[in-house]
Structure 1
Amino acid sequence: MRLGSPTHRSPARRHFARLAAASAAAVLVVTGCVPQGGQDPEQTTGAGQSAGGGQGGGNGRGDDGSGEAPALADLGTSAAQDLPTDPAEDPDYAAYYEQDIAWGPCQDVEGGEELECGTLTVPMVWNDPSAGDIELALAKHGATGEPTGSLVVNPGGPGGSGVDFTASAPFIFSREVTAAYDIVGFDPRGVARSEGIECLTDEETDEYLATTGDPAAGAEENLQQGLDWMARIAEGCQQDSGELLPYLDTYSAARDMDVLRAALDSEQLDYFGYSYGTYLGATYADLYPQRVGRFVLDAALDPSSTLDEISAGQAEGFERATEAFLADCLAQGEACPFKGEVADAKQQLHSFFDSVDAEPLETADPQRPLTGSLARSAVLLLMYEDGFWPTGRDALAAAMQGDGTALLTIADLSSERQADGSYKGNGIVAINAINCLDHPGVADEDWQAEEAERLAEQFPTFGPSMGYGATVCGQWPVPPLREPAPVSAEGAGTIVVIGTTGDPATPYEWSQSLAEQLDDAVLLTFEGDGHTAYGRSGGCIEQAVDPYLLEGTVPEDGLTCSSGG
């Protein structure tokens, strides 16, 4: 495996930085707070699935027996979707658009010695700027050469901290890019330092993440456990941040980015978004196509997908990634704790999960045994980065011998749990707050039950925790605000979309779909495993993207490459 060109930083450090930036979102995937348990991992067949992740029909919602897709949950209205004027030209918003950022030293950013930090004020309610403000946290890694502009970045999630991610910029972007651009990250509204919502104490978060459904219980009882937790989280969020919850949707965050563009003295926004950041970027491009500069969207989310499509696509993506991980493990011979063929190894993994559900493993911390939920979170995180597969093999081997310490460490990385028992950021709850607003699912509970059963049967490794998305989001105090629909960004310049063929969290088909929807886009394909491509492709994607960022040279549409050449 070829790792990097001479102009890119240490691959190992880059991999770690990229993984850590997205780790909080890895635990929950979409709304995966329904505990595991009560499903039969031997059942591996189910109804057919479309490439986009849905069951049956073209929109992925399936067929309710009448020949029509079942109805989605009732929608509320986003305060930021349709505005009567362009805020940048409206005197009512002038105070926001005329801000200057007072950059200064960063106080609480790990590895932020090279950064400057600042704040940006945006309206809490975009269609009513008199309703109060939100202060967004910003960070900047200054250009190491002659600056040509600012590149705004988002690491994904939703719920990932752009401030923390900016500290990783030197390990992700090439020397040429960091020489030419000020890399600017921000914590979106409701996330981390940007009036981050608080819903659970650290002790409650420990309990939440460790909770495992009882394997002997029925699916209904395990579902109720998940619903109870979502209701508990919602109640905590409502008590702490109830005024803000209706305004955490991606339309609002995209409007915020336009204020940031203006504060950076940029006529057009240059932007690099990973994962959820592609959804944020595509939303911005659809709202402000004339202000789109050089846009790179890596590991795309399909804006036309329902919540159920997203869940189904990820269940399939993580199943494929698990099989790839196990195939790689078996190829290592005695170093692998699994034996036989991939199907045998997968059954051994399921049996391991079942055994830890029944009897959690001891770890180096007597107060924190490794539960089935924590074990699954650790293995799920490994699917994001094939560079960490050897670490995963060793951790699983130790756990299968009775020591859960290494897997617990990986699970803690996934949730950003720190050594003192506190949690860095708030991605664990922010992901629900944002996703439940952005993505409606099918309202019919019978359909939800059938779909959940299908996911559990067809994708038995993680599928059992990925059903009932709309049912779980039904506990949220704010209804979904956005109709799933394609984006075109008509009038924008060429947008670069990147997809990875073995991406578990944002399956490759979603990048294909977004590239087709956009009025002007090229699609780059990385043939590899893991989540995202730029910064971890070994140079092949970077060598196509960097000239676009630096000179505006649009890559060849359809370019396909791998880390081997």
Structure 2
Amino acid sequence: MDSRRLLRTSAIAVATTGLLISGCSSGSSSTSATASAHTATDGDPGGAPSAEELAPYSSQKLSWRACGVAKFECATMKAPLDYAKPAGPSINLAVARVKATGPGKRIGSLLVNPGGPGGSAVGYLQSYAGIGYPAPVRARYDMVAVDPRGVARSEPVECLTGQQMDAYTEVDQTPDDPAQQTALTKAFKEFAAGCEAKSGKVLPHVSTVEAARDMDLLRQVLGDEKLHYVGASYGTFLGATYAELYPSRTGRLVLDGAMDPSLSSLDMNRDQTAGFETAFKSFATDCAKQKDCPLGRGSVEDASDRLRAFFKAADAKPIPTGQSRKLGEALATTGVIAAMYDEAAWPELRTALARAMKGDGAGLLTLADSYYERDASGKYANLMFANAAVNCLDAPPSFTGPTEVTAALPSFEQASPVFGEGFAWSALNCAYWPVKATGTPHRIEAKGAAPILVVGTTRDPATPYKWAQSLADQLSSGTLLTYEGDGHTAYGRGSDCIDTAINTYLLDGTPPAKGKRCS
């Protein structure tokens, strides 16, 4: 279970891998960069090139080709690999769009990002946002996505083969003795070494700041005066970073399932641990009302005890799955975690747990594979590779070695008796990363930005509600919209109240009233 800051929309509800974007290509013709007159460093604290230095990129014209389904178009945008050296090597970024359908006056482009880091924005656009966002929004916006650098089709970070990833996901992340601790640290070191060997060129250049600069470059290339954006989960950090760098160019930003950029990696991991405990309690409470609940129909504490006992048993004797891979504690825990993102997956989790407790781990293995984005052939998307690469670059590691993890275990186990130990040890992964972190946690105020809408769900497992409260408070123009419910993120998940408030903001720029709550 490698859950460190894997912040994305539900892998169960929205599949974002394996989608057709083969029509992407580079070239010239089509869109011009009418907005490139803005200085490249407006609002940027430093590190970005001047408008003149960026001109070869901001003046490029995208060659759009039909791709995927419906009326989707794809292209390739070039960006500097290193914005501090714009005359140096470039990086190719996959872009996709579906044009505004009308009726009504076109507002501009609406960029979308599903989170991760490592989630494919192009895949998300093609599988959901470009066809599933409310019709009035799609009528007046060109729906646009760019896979962030290092992700999916944008020169993806690669680290391990499919067989190596299978072994990595099975490593015990609740070590019982020094030998198991050594095995876990060895796995983290081998993962990092694989990333360096296969992707050493891009590893120093996949930070969130650089991805935000890419979004502004795309804004210019598309000819938009302002950047309009919907970011989910980690995508909220990307959107907030954009607003910090370019407040005068910030249009209508929806940050759904918000991160708190002021938190250290340690605090973020510990908060997320508590968030999954909250989600598990909601699941256990609901499970006790169902006739098929495998955790019993008693108290939440009883359910917690049963689940921990199940994990311990799977650790001692992995469960058959009908294939060569067995379900040990690590994969079993990941399968449960995957279902915590979306309450719609709870029935599937009940069935999978019941089967596993009777000796068939296939259902939980399927849930775990969905989390890791592993297909039936054994091939993994690059989600987990990009996730580590971005996270380890964005902030210093939670821990520098096993001794620090051991010291922090009590606080993690207090945050979650069920998941605490595994979450603590999984936060060790960045300790061995080959590239030193370039980012530091800090408050984001984005002074001068237009109103920004921050959305928080009260029982969100991956991005705890207090993070949304904190980000809305930090942003000088932030407004908090609250969803009283379960699951990760809120937009498009069944609340008419939430959807109406967000749609209104996107269409006329008016955020909901202060303190607006939906259920």
Q: 1:83 aligned to 43, 46, 49, which one?
A: 46
Tell me which residue corresponds to 1:184: 144
Q: Secondary structure at the match of 1:191?
A: coil
Counterparts of 2:518 and 2:446, CA distance in 1 = 27
Identity rate, percent? 43
2:15 paired residue among 14, 20, 38: 20
Give 1:149's aligned residue.
108
Partner Cα distance (1:441, 1:336) in 2: 37
Match of 1:95 among 32, 56, 67: 56
Contact in 1 for aligned 2:277/2:415 (Cα 8 Å)? no
Cα deviation 1:296-330 (Å, max 9, x = unaligned):
00011111010001110011010111111011000
Please say if residues 452 and 466 of structure 1, whose CA atoms lie closer than 8 Å, have aligned partners that are also in contact. Answer: no
> Quick one: distance in 2 between partners of 1:536 and 1:505?
16
Q: CA 1:125 to 1:433, structure 2 compared with 1: closer, same or farther past 3 Å?
A: same
* Contact kept? 2:174, 2:425, Cα under 8 Å: no
Give the aligned residue type for 2:152.
Answer: A
Distance 1:190 1:204, change over 3 A: same
Deviations 1:214-252 (A, max 9, x none): 76x32x443332321121111111111112111111111
Matched-pair contact (CA < 8 Å) for 2:400–2:431: no
**1:449 pairs with 377, 383, 406, which one?**
406
Q: Which residue of 1 aligns with 2:464?
A: 507
| Partner residue, 2:25 | none
Secondary structure of residue in 2 paired with 1:343: helix
- Which residue of structure 2 lines up, in the alignment, with residue 248 of structure 1? 206
Q: Relative to structure 1, is the Cα distance of residues 141 and 222 closer, same or farther in structure 2, using a 3 angstrom cutoff?
A: farther
In the TM superposition, what is the alpha-carbon distance from 1:513 to its structure 2 partner?
Answer: 0.3
2:394 is matched with 438
Describe the shift of the 1:205–1:17 C-alpha distance in structure 2 as closer, same or farther (beyond 3 A): closer
The answer to whether the 8 Å contact 1:22/1:157 transfers is no
Give the Cα–Cα distance (whole angstroms) in 2 for the partners of residues 156 and 332 of structure 1.
32
Aligned to 2:270: 312
Contact 2:339 2:346 in 1 (8 A): yes
> Could you tell me how far 1:469 is from its partner in structure 2?
6.7
* 1:126–1:214 CA distance, 2 compared to 1 (3 A): closer
After superposition, the Cα gap between the structure-2 partners of 1:386 and 1:460, relative to the gap in structure 1 and judged at 3 Å, is same
1:159 is aligned to 2:154: no
Q: What is the rounded CA distance, in whole Å, between the counterparts of 2:86 and 2:14 in structure 1?
A: 37
Counterpart in the other structure of 2:96: 139
**Could you tell which deviates more after superposition, 439-448 or 238-247?**
439-448
Query: How do residues 9-408 of structure 1 correspond to structure 2 at under 5 angstroms?
Result: 18-21=13-16, 82-83=45-46, 87=49, 90-106=51-67, 112-146=69-103, 147-167=106-126, 168-170=128-130, 172-213=132-173, 217-218=176-177, 220-365=178-323, 367-408=324-365
Label 1:507 to 1:15 Cα distance change in 2 as closer, same or farther (>3 A): closer
Shift of 1:361: 1.3
Could you say which residue in structure 2 is the equivalent of 1:526? Answer: 483
CA separation in 1, counterparts of 2:44 and 2:310? 47
Counterpart code for 2:66: P
SS at match of 1:295: strand
CA distance in 2, matches of 1:556, 1:81: 30
| Deviation, structure 1 residue 335 | 4.6
Alignment of 1:462-501 (within 5 A): 462-467=419-424, 471-501=428-458
Instruction: Find the counterpart in structure 2 of residue 58 from structure 1.
Output: none
Offset at 1:468? 5.2
Read off the aligned partner of 1:281 and give its amino acid letter.
G
For 2:384, the equivalent position in structure 1 comes to 428
Question: Root-mean-square deviation (CA), in Å?
Answer: 2.2
Structure 1 residue 161: deviation in Å? 0.5
Q: Distance in 2 between matches of 1:263 and 1:398?
A: 52
1:41 aligns with: none
Q: CA shift at 1:538, angstroms?
A: 2.3
Structure 1 stretches lacking a partner, 5+ long: 1-13, 24-79
The alpha carbon displacement at 1:408 in A equals 1.3
Closer/same/farther in 2, CA of residues 529 and 172 from structure 1, 3 Å limit: farther
Q: Distance in 1 between matches of 2:410 and 2:436?
A: 25
The 3-state SS of whatever aligns with 1:130 is: coil
* CA distance in 2: counterparts of 1:258 and 1:226, whole angstroms: 40
Report the CA distance between 1:421 and its aligned residue.
1.5
SS in 2 for 1:20: coil
Q: Which structure is richer in relative contact order (CA contacts within 8 A, separation 6 or more)?
A: 1
Which amino acid in the other structure matches residue 46 of structure 2? Answer: L
Q: Distance in 1 between matches of 2:272 and 2:487?
A: 13
Distance in 1, Cα, partners of 2:457 & 2:207: 27
Q: Does 1:516 align with 2:511?
A: no
Q: Distance in 1 between matches of 2:51 and 2:102?
A: 36
Q: Which amino acid aligns with 1:384?
A: Y
Identify if the C-alpha distance between structure 1 residues 470 and 225 changes in structure 2 by more than 3 Å, giving closer, same or farther: same
* Counterpart contact for 1:500–1:507, Cα < 8 Å: yes
Q: AA paired with 1:428?
A: M
- Shift in alpha-carbon separation, 1:305–1:134, aligned structure 2, 3 A: same
Give, in angstroms, the shift of residue 148 of structure 1: 3.0
Shift of 1:83: 2.9
What CA distance in whole angstroms lies between the structure 1 residues aligned with 2:11 and 2:438? 35
1:31 matched residue in structure 2: none
Residue in 1 aligned with 2:23?
none
The answer to whether the 8 Å contact 1:22/1:156 transfers is no
Q: Within the alignment, does 1:558 sit opposite 2:515 as a pair? A: yes
- Cα distance in 2 for partners of 1:229, 1:304 equals 30
| Residue 382 (structure 1) shift | 0.7
Contact 1:15 1:536 in 2 (8 A): no
Contact 2:80 2:90 in 1 (8 A): yes
1:387 Cα offset (Å): 1.2
Q: Residue 135 of structure 1 aligns to which amino acid in structure 2?
A: N
1:453 shift after superposition: 3.5
Name the TM-score, length of structure 2 as normaliser: 0.88
Seen in structure 2, the aligned counterparts of structure 1 residues 15 and 431 have a Cα distance that, compared at 3 Å, is closer
Task: Provide the C-alpha distance between the structure 1 equivalents of 2:174 and 2:214, rounded to a whole number of angstroms.
Answer: 43
Please tell me whether the aligned partners of residues 13 and 342 of structure 2 are also in contact (alpha carbons under 8 angstroms).
Answer: no
Q: How many equivalent residue pairs?
A: 483
CA drift at 1:454:
2.4
Q: Which residue of the other structure, out of 360, 369, 382, is the alignment partner of 1:412?
A: 369
Contact residue 135 and residue 195 of structure 1 kept, 8 A = yes
